[in-house]
Amino acid sequence: MVKQKISALQSKQVVKKGIRIPLPNQSVLLPVIMLALLVGVFFLGILWEKVQYVQKGTQGTTPVAVAQANPQAAQPTQPVPGQKVDVSAGHLPFKGKANAKVTIVAFEDFRCPFCKKTFDEVESQLIKEYVDTGKARFAYRHFQFLGPASVLAGNASECANEQSKFWDFHEYLYKNQPSESDTTLYTVDKMTEIAGRLGLNSTQFKSCLSSSKYQKNVDQDYQEGQKAGVSGTPTFYINGIQLVGAQPYAALKTVIDQELAK
């Protein structure tokens, strides 16, 4: 009897505007429903991340929760407050003397607006007062997590470094950073054009960038940043002391002076 009812139900048709539409077989209907539910959960997750980003975006740091662009993403290790973290200056050339008493390591994303704010308002003062005087050295490390455009920008800076132009490229990217929603600058052709303006060999640069020759360097910095406790950009380590967000110059100066006094 049950089989007869199911068979009768499956044989029914719906008439809509003169078109006969057969009801789908149950064996087809169930997977469709499951797929629709999975898609709905996926988009709800994206909406939740966007809400978190808006809530955190005013705190002076671009949070990792927004991005998931780097396939190596994992939960960052949270350092104990006041405890120094063992963070190296990385592989890129640093500014200042190698034997300077204080090492300032900045984990940043070239597309991060708070990193640009730090570049515009803080970095030049640090360089003038502490780096140029031999008291500190300043190192940049990748934390390129704001999408494929950020990863490409990180790779481009590595290719510029191949031709001893890292800091020139670093300066250009921050001085000419577009709005966060505008990624038109971050293409192989645009980056190659910039490289040419800065006096690099364009052919060599384009070949380097097209092949993602230094992707391993970008990934390694990102992974080491997470191990150190980086959860957003910019994040600074002054002799291992963590400062998170677009800190005012006075905040960094206080920690640097304390380390110099030791």
Give per-residue pLDDT as tens, 105-152: 999 999 999 999 999 999 999 999 999 999 999 999 999 999 999 999
User: In this predicted model, what pLDDT tens digit does every residue of 68-112 receive, in sequence order?
Assistant: 444 444 445 555 656 799 999 999 999 999 999 999 999 999 999
Residues 73 and 138 in one domain: yes
140, part of any domain? yes
pLDDT of residue 155: 98
Residue 240 has pLDDT above 80, yes or no: yes
Q: Give 103 or 14, the one with higher predicted confidence.
A: 103
24, part of any domain? yes
Residues 132 and 23 in one domain: no
Q: With contact defined as beta carbons under 8 Å apart, do 85 and 240 qualify?
A: yes
pLDDT of residue 187: 98
Residue 210 has pLDDT above 90, yes or no: yes
Residue 217 has pLDDT above 60, yes or no: yes
pLDDT of residue 82: 61
% of the chain at pLDDT higher than 90: 68
Residue 18 has pLDDT above 50, yes or no: no
47, part of any domain? yes
Residues 227 and 146 in one domain: yes
User: In this predicted model, what pLDDT tens digit does every residue of 178-208 receive, in sequence order?
Assistant: 999 999 999 999 999 999 999 999 999 999 9
Residues 143 and 255 in one domain: yes
Place of tokens 């001893």: 164
Q: Is the backbone peptide bond immediately before 234 cis, with ω within 30 degrees of 0?
A: yes
pLDDT of residue 68: 40
Residue 238: left if φ>0, alpha if ψ -120 to 50, beta else—which one? beta
Boundary residue ending a domain (55, 77, 96): 55
Q: pLDDT-based confidence at 218, cuts 50/70/90?
A: very high
Residue 28 has pLDDT above 60, yes or no: no
247, part of any domain? yes
Distances (CA, A) of 174 to 40, 74, 84, 118, 167: 38, 27, 29, 10, 11
pLDDT of residue 53: 37
Residues 130 and 194 in one domain: yes
Q: pLDDT-based confidence at 262, cuts 50/70/90?
A: very high
Residues 135 and 46 in one domain: no
pLDDT of residue 200: 98
Residues 11 and 88 in one domain: no
Residues 42 and 171 in one domain: no
Q: With contact defined as beta carbons under 8 Å apart, do 87 and 257 qualify?
A: no
216: domain CATH number? Answer: 3.40.30.10
Q: Which residues pair with 136 in a beta bridge?
A: 102
Domain that holds residue 194: 65-261
Q: Give 168 or 7, the one with higher predicted confidence.
A: 168
Q: With contact defined as beta carbons under 8 Å apart, do 139 and 100 qualify?
A: no
Instruction: Outline where DSSP puts E strands in the chain.
Output: 13-16, 19-22, 62-63, 102-108, 136-142, 232-233, 235-238, 241-244
pLDDT of residue 67: 43
Number of domains in the chain: 2
The C-alpha atoms of residue 244 and residue 136 are separated, in whole angstroms, by 19
Residues 98 and 80 in one domain: yes
Which residue from 91, 94, 72 is spatially nearest to 145, judged by alpha carbons?
A: 72
69, part of any domain? yes
Q: Mean pLDDT over all residues of the chain?
A: 81
Residues 17 and 98 in one domain: no
60, part of any domain? no
Q: With contact defined as beta carbons under 8 Å apart, do 234 and 107 qualify?
A: yes
Boundary residue ending a domain (35, 55, 75): 55
Both tokens of residue 36? Answer: 């629709």
pLDDT of residue 83: 75
Question: Would you say the C-alpha torsion 168, 172, 175, 180 has a positive or negative sign?
Answer: negative
209, part of any domain? yes
Report the range out of 21-35, 69-83, 213-227 with the highest average pLDDT: 213-227
Residues 11 and 133 in one domain: no
Residues 27 and 132 in one domain: no
The C-alpha atoms of residue 124 and residue 127 are separated, in whole angstroms, by 5
36, part of any domain? yes
